[in-house]
Chains A and B, each alone.
Chain A
Amino acid sequence: MVRIPFFLGWRLSTLRNGIQDSLAYRWDFFLRLFGSALVPAIVQFTLWYSAFKLGSAETLGGNTYAELVAYTATSMLFSQLRTGDQDFTIDDMIRTGTFSAALLRPVRPLEFIYLRSMGEKLSVMILASLIAITASIFTSMHFSHFLQGLGIAILGNIIHFQIGCAVVTLAFYWEQSYAAIMTKNIIVSLLSGEMIPLHFFPENLTWLWKGLPFYLYIYGPTQIALGRWTGGDVTHQLWIALAWIAGLGLLVRMLWSYSIRRYQALGG
């Protein structure tokens, strides 16, 4: 029998456990799979339709109707990988004192929470891959491009979690950080490419999305999956993502080691 090393053992069990947990409520699971991506997608499709079919535009931001429809459809796959309510969960755990259970187990509490939530994301990844395989048969999309995009999107997901962990430390000072998380999520929606393709931004404002990591969640992976960023671009984005992960890792570690002293473990 193959013996799984401890450092991997509890992580695999946690992932598996997270999958089981996400399947506990069947209908909720199916709705969550792509439910929240529908609204921004419908808004985008309506916009493209209005501009091209009703307004008779030929291109928008340098893109044709077909290119923008492809963007919206592909970005839906990655936007579901980005979404995650771990920061809201941790905020609630800090406020109500249920974080205590995670603190006393002999594993890193934040990593444990992340891995459990990734259980659900694995299901999304599998489904998104199946859709991408189908799309690669019927369209010009290459599945290998999709996989590269998926790789960046996974790193984006880690970054998203890390930023959430940093923001949620406000709960130690303000008792809850709900509004701060919501504000962050609105900025993310705008600067991740979920609402509109980021190349729609005026030239003098591109620094706004390029200087932040949010584009690595949806816009970057979508551009890679559609073959618009290839080769060196992908490697470049990979390094940028890894640098963000390293920097944010240090920031989260520092913030938590200081803020956790204010944890009150309320309730008995």
Chain B
Amino acid sequence: MGTANFSTPMTYSIEASHIGRDFRSTKKKPGFKGILSLLFHPEIVVKQAVTDVSFQIREGEFVGLIGSNGAGKTTLLKVLSGLIPPTTGTATVLQETPFDRSLKFRKNIALVMGQKAQLWWDLPAVEAFDLLRAIYQTDPVVHRARLDELATLLGVTSLMQTQIRRLSLGERMKMEIIGAILHRPKLLFLDEPTIGLDILAARRLRAFLKEHNKSEGTTIILTSHNMDDISELCKRILVLKEGRLLFDGAPSVLIAENECQLRVQFSTAIDPGAVKENLDELVFGIDKDPDQQETLLFTLDRKQLASAIQRLMSSFTVLDFSIQEASLDRAMTKIYKGEA
């Protein structure tokens, strides 16, 4: 007699298998000769934007997709949302091939691009949402209630009659988010949704997305250069570097537990090289604070903190110092620089 299997089968929203995507473009050489050569003998350049990327994402997960500029994040989102086909490999999204873009598939996904408006520029937000209601066949009463709820949550009720082009960047982004989730998609792709937003607006948007993921069980894939977005929202991150998947797991794994950051303000601007001679065996790295010339940031083991401070105080005039926890920001900087 066979053994009954009571385990629930794992349902994946996304299954990516060895995805690769390249782009062909013409390369222009400098000067007039370059223009002529472009006209008659264009040099075709093939750029591998994504290479051999495989992963699976379960229903309801909130996953961060991170990497430096040109790492392939947006290209991967475009493949998964069905905008472009992969050059190699296969993607299955909501049990379908994305590039087929079936009606069912398009009804169940939404893509928000922080730098590209999806709503109609010249229309008041409420009119744009009404058109979306007709497109997604939402019941008018349900639509009204849902729109009121979302507008209240995001604090944009008073802006509903305003043309999209007259809204501020933050307000427009909130409208874009509303437009994307009005029809309750099962899968939401967010490409840098907090770009250009002030701290408060970004925080509100994060709180909203967190609640939305929790209450509706929507699978969300988020790309962002803002590590606050990633740390607050994503229990799992995929790190891309030069088109390849470098890391797939919890953000905490990347943050060294014993590591911390010492922020020291000196009386004058100091060359990091000079300080390094004093602290060589105690610190992992020294960076300049981009905002303050006199301030240096030391990354070191927590156990070496006292010795490092003592040595700095005896050799330099220290005005102020503070200790910060190791951050995802720091971990990612190390990855981008190739130090990790």
- A residues neighboring B (CB under 8 Å): 6, 9-10, 12-14, 17, 20-21, 24-25, 97-98, 100-101, 103-107, 261, 263-265, 267-268
Chain B residues 53-97 with CB under 8 Å of chain A are 73-74, 78, 81-85
The 0/1 profile, CB within 8 Å of A marked 1, for residues 162-177 of chain B is 0100000000000000
Is B324's beta carbon under 8 Å from chain A?
Answer: no
Chain B residues 25-42 with CB under 8 Å of chain A are none
- CB-CB < 8 A to B106: which residues of A? 104-106
- CB-CB < 8 A to A265: which residues of B? 78, 83-84
Is B235's beta carbon under 8 Å from chain A?
Answer: no
Q: Which residue of A has the minimal Cβ distance to B135?
A: A10
- CB-CB < 8 A to A264: which residues of B? 23, 84
- CB-CB < 8 A to A12: which residues of B? 134
The answer on a CB contact under 8 Å between A21 and B134 is: no
B45 to chain A, nearest CB (A): 14
Chain A-chain B contacts (Cβ-Cβ < 8 Å), number: 77
The answer on a CB contact under 8 Å between B85 and A261 is: yes
- B residues neighboring A (CB under 8 Å): 23, 73-74, 78, 81-85, 101, 103, 106-107, 109-111, 113, 115-118, 120, 122-123, 127, 130-131, 133-137, 163, 191-192
The answer on a CB contact under 8 Å between B84 and A263 is: yes
Contact for A21 among B109, B120, B130, B135, CB less than 8 A: B120
- What CA separation (Å) do A65 and B117 show in the bound complex? 53
Q: List 21 A-B contacts (CB under 8 A).
A: A10-B134, A10-B137, A13-B131, A13-B133, A13-B135, A14-B135, A17-B127, A17-B131, A24-B123, A24-B163, A25-B122, A98-B116, A101-B117, A103-B101, A104-B106, A105-B135, A106-B103, A265-B83, A267-B116, A268-B113, A268-B115
Q: Which residue of A has the minimal Cβ distance to B118?
A: A101
- What CA separation (Å) do A17 and B123 show in the bound complex? 8
- CB-CB < 8 A to B116: which residues of A? 97-98, 100-101, 267-268
Q: Which residue of B has the minimal Cβ distance to A24?
A: B122
Given contacts A106-B135, A267-B115, A268-B192, contact A17 B83 (CB under 8 A): no
